[in-house]
């Protein structure tokens, strides 16, 4: 395991080495236990790092950490560690996670409105990431997290039928892939039905997501635009094929560390939440 260390605003690798030496192992074993019961937990944990929401595994880890070392390990750090562990469990490369964050009284990470929407232009996506200190490469790399997990028909079915009032489909969709998507998401069908971001590889953390973008098989319009826009296509091209996988694995860890250090609270700022889903009273 290796990673480029990006320290930010008081975080450091091994922050809990003396105050709670089992912190990282408790998180990783908890994530692994839940993953064995339900592999869909991995993409959920990865998304949580952006969306500031919680699933039971985080509360489970927090309960164990409070028993081992009360009031020491923040929910923000549990999220950062669990996101890394979820990538490893699905076959991705590990990275060193700087810890030492404290929990905010409002949000742990990106505000939901700060996240790119599924129809958003590349310029708008870049602006939102830039506001967090993240560059265009970080944008492409972190969207690459869609290599695992699913989305719902309601977020892309408009591309399959009357796209932008054209009475046809989005021309960016590969013509041979279109019938497959239409079968999964019939017109006026169940909008909550789940569909893999990375067809045939939704449980493996690999770089085939980028191959899909090249081939016109991106599910979300905002994802497919990464290939169709020249400024991001050059970055996507770096992650194509077997050689691209190695590069993607390295860059994903780097970008996750950068993202997890945006707006971070350390020192005496914020608090250490007792329960991750609620601020301390």
Q: Which positions are catalytic?
A: 51
The answer on 160 and 70 residing in a single domain is no
126 and 188 together in one domain: yes
- Identify whether residues 147 and 69 lie together within a single domain: no
For residue 18, give the CATH number of its domain.
1.10.520.10
147 is in an annotated binding site: yes
HSE (CB half, 13 Å, CA atoms) of 147? 25
Total tally of structural domains belonging to the chain: 2
| Cross-strand partners of 265 | 102
Does 187 map to a domain? yes
Please indicate, yes or no, whether residues 208 and 93 belong to a single structural domain of this protein.
no
In the chain, what are the helix, strand and coil shares in percent, each to the nearest 5?
A: 50, 5, 45
Q: Do 136 and 46 meet the contact criterion of CB atoms below 8 Å apart?
A: no
Token representation of residue 115: 């996240």
- 215 labelled ligand-binding: no
Claim to verify: residue 134 and residue 166 sit in the same structural domain: yes
Q: How many CB atoms lie within 10 A of CB 55?
A: 17
Per DSSP (E only), the strands in the chain are 150-152, 194-196
Domain extent for 239: 116-259
Whether residue 2 is contained in a domain is answered as: no
Is 37 found in the same domain as 148? no
Which single residue is written with the structure tokens 């969306």? 51
In a domain, 109, yes or no: no
Within a domain: 1: no
The answer to whether residues 254 and 270 belong to one domain is no
121 shares a domain with 183: yes
Looking at the structure, tell me whether residues 184 and 208 fall in a common domain.
Answer: yes
Asked if residue 193 belongs to a domain, the reply is: yes
The answer to whether 146 is annotated as binding is yes
Domain CATH number, residue 223: 1.10.420.10
Evaluate whether 244 touches 250 at the Cβ level (below 8 Å): no
Q: Are residues 161 and 227 located together in one domain of the fold?
A: yes
Q: What is the DSSP letter of 112?
A: G
Give the CA angle between residues 107, 108, 111 to the nearest 5°.
Answer: 55
What is the spatial distance between Cα 184 and Cα 157, in angstroms, rounded to a whole number?
A: 9
Same domain assignment for residues 141 and 235: yes
Asked if residue 230 and residue 215 are part of one domain, the reply reads: yes
CA dist 227 and 222 (Å) reads 10
The verdict on whether residue 140 carries a ligand-binding annotation is: no
Structural domain includes residue 4: no
Distance CA 65, CA 46 (A): 20
Phi and psi of 151, rounded to 5°?
-130, 180
pLDDT for the residue numbered 183: 97
CA–CA separation, 186 vs 160, rounded Å? Answer: 9
pTM to 2 decimal places:
0.90
Q: Does residue 138 have a known ligand-binding role?
A: no
Q: Is 198 annotated as a binding residue?
A: yes
* 12: helix, strand or coil: strand
pLDDT at residue 153 in the model: 98
Q: In whole angstroms, what is the distance from residue 209 CA to residue 197 CA?
A: 8
Residue at 241 is within a domain? yes
Is residue 62, in this structure, part of any structural domain at all?
yes
- What's the DSSP call for residue 134? -
**Mean pLDDT, consecutive 10-residue segments, the chain of 281 residues?**
49 96 98 95 86 74 97 94 97 97 71 75 94 94 96 97 94 97 96 95 95 97 96 97 94 94 88 89 81
């Amino acid at each position: 395991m290796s990673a480029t260390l990006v320290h930010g605003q008081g975080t450091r690798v091994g922050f809990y080495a003396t105050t709670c030496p089992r912190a990282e192992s408790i998180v990783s074993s908890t994530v692994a236990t839940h993953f064995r019961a339900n592999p869909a937990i991995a993409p959920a944990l990865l998304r949580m790092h952006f969306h500031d929401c919680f699933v039971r595994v985080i509360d489970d880890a927090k309960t164990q950490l409070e028993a081992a070392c009360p009031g020491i390990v923040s929910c923000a750090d549990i999220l950062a560690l669990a996101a890394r562990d979820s990538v490893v469990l699905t076959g991705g490369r590990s990275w060193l996670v700087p810890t030492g964050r404290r929990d905010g009284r409002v949000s742990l990470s990106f505000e939901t409105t700060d996240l790119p929407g599924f129809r958003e232009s590349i310029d708008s996506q870049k602006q939102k990431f830039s506001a967090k200190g993240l560059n265009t490469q970080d944008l492409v790399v972190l969207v690459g997290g869609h290599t695992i997990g699913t989305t719902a028909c309601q977020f892309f079915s408009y591309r399959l039928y009357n796209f932008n009032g054209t009475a046809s489909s989005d021309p960016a969709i590969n013509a041979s892939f279109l019938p497959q998507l239409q079968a999964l998401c019939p017109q006026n069908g169940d909008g909550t039905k789940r569909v893999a971001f990375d067809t045939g590889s939704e449980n493996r953390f690999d770089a085939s997501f980028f191959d899909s973008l090249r081939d016109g098989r991106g599910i979300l319009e905002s994802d497919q635009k990464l290939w169709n826009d020249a400024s991001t296509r050059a970055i996507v091209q770096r992650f194509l094929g077997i050689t691209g996988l190695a590069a993607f694995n390295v860059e994903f860890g780097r970008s996750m560390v950068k993202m997890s250090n945006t707006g971070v609270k350390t020192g005496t700022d914020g608090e250490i939440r007792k329960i991750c889903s609620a601020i301390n009273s």
